[in-house]
Amino acid sequence: MSSMQGQPIKCKAAVARGVNDLRIEEITVAPPKAGEVRLKVHSNALCHTDIYTLEGSDPEGVFPSILGHEAGAVVESVGEGVTSVKEGDKVIPCYTPQCGEPECIFCNPPRGKRTNLCPKIRGTQGGGVMPDGTSRFTGKDGEEIKHFMGCSTFSEYTVVAEISCAKVNDAAPLHTCSLLGCGVATGLGAVWNTCDIEGGSSVAVFGLGAVGLSVIQGAQMRGAKRIFAIDTNPGKFDMAKELGATDCVNPDDYDKPIQQVLNGELTEWGIDYTFDATGNTEVMRAALESAHRGWGESCVIGVAAAGQEISTRPFQLVTGRKWTGTAFGGFKSRSEVPPLVEDYMNNELKLDHYITHEFKGVEGTLEAIDALHSGDCLRAVVTY
């Protein structure tokens, strides 16, 4: 049994004190309450939403808080009534929970078969607190520090809800599998779950960060025939090709809008499935309008800045295009993330390609943020 079971733990964390003010501090992590799990975080990969929130761009962001939501961890201790994980288990904390209760229409078939939007702890998670309405983190002066996206993995220890913990293989290498906590899983799931593409389809992905590249990987694994990789940074094209892209396109090389190039010039009637992995609403429009006349489907993965709106002419929909979107690739976290870890361990899924930078210690989070700002970073993984 963990020697700290039932006791508060003092540890290091990167605390977001205010806009662009991330400080390495000693914090206290309270023991898990009923239905909660305390985790020792092994590795954390930075994702843009953490930076976006730190920069003050998320109007719902709260300070002080502990950011971070793409991680691999080990269970340190569990609260009352927790049965699905135990001390020593490897887990991936997930920002989309899966309560699995028989009465949850989002977790269960028939309507919940293909969604992961379990609302069980949505309100408290969005408010930066645990389901009982309080925080498990306190700072030096005993002041409350808020949680973030139900994960808060910029800390050596964190507390999450049991229903947010995906228990994975005991032999899983956590520093690579951390990527399955957000970016890579999201791109794969957009292809496999949200759009459920058929073999032989044509695919286009806008934005070749970790999310867009995993769309390419997922499409190739499904047997897509032609995969268009689109980015304004041509430095991304080599990796796109390595993961399965057949055509790389830089919109800046053309005078006309990219949708007219993809739909009408490079293809006659458009592309079966298109994905936005940029978060830019103009690109979302271009992705929709690049989709195939009569049946093309376009999936919004990118998260747009607060208050942004999308637009297109209704003609685009009347002529048979569909506009959809995804959260965490539609994966049900606790039941569908562990098989992804198995795929990686069986060499059926690539993860190592996405790790371009590695750092040590919670302090490394600061260096990782700088790396993420440089154009050549896919994922920077910090191992504590």
User: How far is residue 129's CA from residue 146's CA, in Å, rounded to a whole number?
Assistant: 6
Single out the residue of 150, 183, 270, 296 in contact with ligand NAD (rule: CB under 6 A).
Answer: 183
Single out the residue of 99, 151, 219, 288 in contact with Zn ion (rule: CB under 5 A).
Answer: 99
Shortest Cβ 142–ligand NAD spacing (Å): 34
Query: Which residue's CB is nearer to ligand 022, number 217 or number 326?
Result: 326
**Residue with CB nearest ligand NAD?**
209
Binding characters for ligand NAD, 279-318, by CB under 6 A (x = yes): xx--x-----------------xxx---------------
- ∠ at Cα 333 (335, 325), nearest 5°? 125
Strand runs labelled E in the chain:
9-18, 21-29, 36-45, 71-78, 90-93, 137-138, 144-145, 157-161, 165-168, 202-206, 226-230, 247-249, 273-276, 297-300, 322-325, 355-360, 379-383
The amino acid occupying position 192 is: W
Give, as ranges, the residues between 27 and 56 that touch Zn ion (CB under 5 A).
Answer: 47, 49
Cβ 157 vs Cβ 9: under 8 Å: yes
231: its two tokens: 């980015």
# residues near ligand NAD by CB under 6 A: 30
The amino acid occupying position 4 is: M
Shortest Cβ 64–ligand 022 spacing (Å): 16
Single out the residue of 30, 51, 74, 303 in contact with ligand 022 (rule: CB under 6 A).
Answer: 303
User: How far is residue 101's CA from residue 206's CA, in Å, rounded to a whole number?
Assistant: 37
Give, as ranges, the residues between 136 and 155 that touch ligand 022 (CB under 6 A).
Answer: 149-150
- ∠ at Cα 331 (246, 16), nearest 5°? 95
Across the strands, what pairs with 72?
Answer: 43
Residues tagged active-site: 47-49, 69-70, 99, 104, 107, 118, 122, 182, 379
Shortest Cβ 192–ligand NAD spacing (Å): 14
117 binds ligand 022 (CB under 6 A): yes
CA 33 to chain centroid: 26
Type and span of the H or E element at 126: helix 122-126
Which of ligand NAD, ligand 022, Zn ion, none is residue 280 near (CB under 5 to 8 Å by kind)?
ligand NAD
Shortest Cβ 107–ligand 022 spacing (Å): 12
User: How far is residue 99's CA from residue 185's CA, in Å, rounded to a whole number?
Assistant: 19
Which of ligand 022, ligand NAD, Zn ion, none is residue 212 near (CB under 5 to 8 Å by kind)?
ligand NAD
Which of ligand NAD, ligand 022, Zn ion, none is residue 95 near (CB under 5 to 8 Å by kind)?
ligand 022
CA 345 to chain centroid: 20
What is the residue-wise DSSP string for 169-213? -TT--HHHHGGGGTHHHHHHHIIIIIS-PPTT-EEEEE--SHHHH
Query: Which residue's CB is nearer to Zn ion, number 68 or number 296?
Result: 68
Give, as ranges, the residues between 159 and 218 that touch Zn ion (CB under 5 A).
Answer: 182
Question: Would you give the DSSP letter of residue 154?
Answer: S
Phi-psi region of 75 (alpha: psi -120 to 50; beta: other; left: phi over 0): beta
Binding characters for ligand NAD, 215-254, by CB under 6 A (x = yes): ---------------xxxx--x--------------x---
Type and span of the H or E element at 21: strand 21-29
Single out the residue of 6, 123, 126, 294 in contact with ligand 022 (rule: CB under 6 A).
Answer: 126
**Residues of this chain that bind Zn ion (CB under 5 A):** 47, 49, 99, 104, 107, 118, 120, 182
**Residues of this chain that bind ligand 022 (CB under 6 A):** 47-49, 95-96, 117, 119, 122, 125-126, 149-150, 182, 303, 327-328
**Residues of this chain that bind ligand NAD (CB under 6 A):** 47-49, 182-183, 186, 206-212, 230-233, 236, 251, 277-280, 283, 301-303, 326-328
